[in-house]
Amino acid sequence: MKDTLWKENHFQDNIPDADSIQVDDIQTRAEKLRQQANAAVGAKKYAQACELYTQAIELSPCAILYANRALARTKMEEYGYAYMDACKSIELDCHYPKGYYRRAVANFALGKYKAALEDFKKECERRIREQAFAKAIDSDAVKPVSLFETIDYESIIVEDSYQGPTWEQEDISESFCYELIEYLRNQGKLHKKYLIKLLVYAKRYLDQLDNIVSYQVKESGITVCGDTHGQYYDLLNIFQLNGYPSRDNPYLFNGDFVDRGSFSVEVIITLLTFVCYDPLCMLLNRGNHESKNMNKIYGFEGEVKTKYNETIYSLFAELFESLPLGHLLIGNEKGNRKQVLVIHGGLFSRDGVLLEDLQHLDRHREPDQGLMAELLWSDPQKEMGWGVSKRGIGVSFGPDVTCRFLDANQIALLVRSHEMKEQGYEVEADNRLITVFSAPNYCDQMGNLGAYIRFSSTLEPQFYTFAQVPHPNVPPMAYASNGLGSMGLV
């Protein structure tokens, strides 16, 4: 009798009530959303995955969902948001290892190696043991003597087997430029003697420039291009569509020449060759990827070391610090001094910044803090005011911030790059801000168009778009670090 009563009571205690059924239903829906989101990540539909993870989190927040959304945001390069998701994952479950891993990956992608080390010790310690990497993260390290002061390219012997273009005179000839383009197009490799000479000549010129270079636009106008990211054959397509660089057909390339695409060496060599041939036909701005931290992760360092050697990479890294931070285009219209500012990333976390302030920055360093970091890393947002950067560096700035900065500096228009756009460009902030991106089908997978802007002498913009062209069978990121490899989804 006693046993029967216990069984009846036990059975009654375990009858699910309405509330528990509802909880089970919520968890079931959240689990289905998680599985759908995981599938979206597998299909590289990262924005869709983020939306699905968000819906699941709203139903049933847990460490796994936040960690998985952090992964999707990492794939979208929204490292600031990924970091916050990883922190929330750890807050919900301090024993969940992937929360720490995701946070480490976000910090690692941002070049915050010491912070990443706490969560990602094994991977970071391996990198810290590499001498170059240790120097890159040690902000207190003494700056070494410039390689440009000791390098002797004249003593380098050019082997008889070398079939590429030669540069024996003082100046680069026009024929050398075109011979080099065709040689690189056919996957030839410029001899290291001529490459080092090119870097020496380019740095000597770039070091003379201001942080923000004033450029009077001639009657023929100027073409402004955005990120090219090592997509050499698309760069050549721009020249095919718009004409090769010359004094009557000048170009301004707005940073991020390297990384991602696996022909970054060819891109930067071609651009620097035109700089040395005629500085008035090729203007260059620094991007956030012209830095040691980004090059180590996203491929340029590995590509240079594969195609050449560590010394030549060190020369590139030092040269990148000599690149100007922006160009101020000045229109050629009587009675109307119209100006357009071209910088890579965006604006600043406070009002009141003047061009004069930017001229006083020390640009010969890594862009990891202060106004220089914001200039190279920031992005516009639709909302007014300022917001948290999705990248974890710089700031998000609204159209009101844009207009106040431009008005304070008597500038009509801000042109920036730094973000992939489906049509290759986007106009916002009451037509006072343009984003231009010149790497079509970014990383061979995004399906976007590339674009460039033709500015007339009166600084009226015209937009031109183009699709990707074929390239040799070397995939993007072929030389990239494996430090951003991810643990599987849960």
**Alpha-carbon distance 36 to 23, whole Å?**
20
Beta strand 339-343 with 326-330: parallel, antiparallel or unpaired?
antiparallel
Q: Indicate the burial class of 7 (C-beta count within 10 angstroms; 0-12, 13-18, 19 or more).
A: exposed
Q: For 205, how many CA atoms within 13 A lie in the half-sphere containing its CB? A: 19
DSSP letter (8 states) at residue 158: P
**Alpha-carbon distance 299 to 329, whole Å?**
32
Q: What angle do CA 107, 110, 116 make, to 5 degrees?
A: 25
Candidates 191, 229, 289, 327; catalytic one: 289
Would you state the torsion angle of the CA atoms of residues 210, 213, 218, 223, taken in this order, to the nearest 10 degrees? 130
Task: Please indicate whether residue 289 is annotated as part of the active site.
Answer: yes
Task: Find out whether 452 and 237 touch, Cβ atoms under 8 Å.
Answer: no
Cβ neighbours of 319 (radius 10 Å) = 21
Whether the CA torsion 263, 265, 267, 273 is positive or negative: it is negative
Whether the CA torsion 242, 246, 247, 248 is positive or negative: it is negative
Helix and strand counts by DSSP (H, E) for the chain: 19, 14
CA 378 from centroid of its chain's CA atoms: 11
Active-site residue list: 289
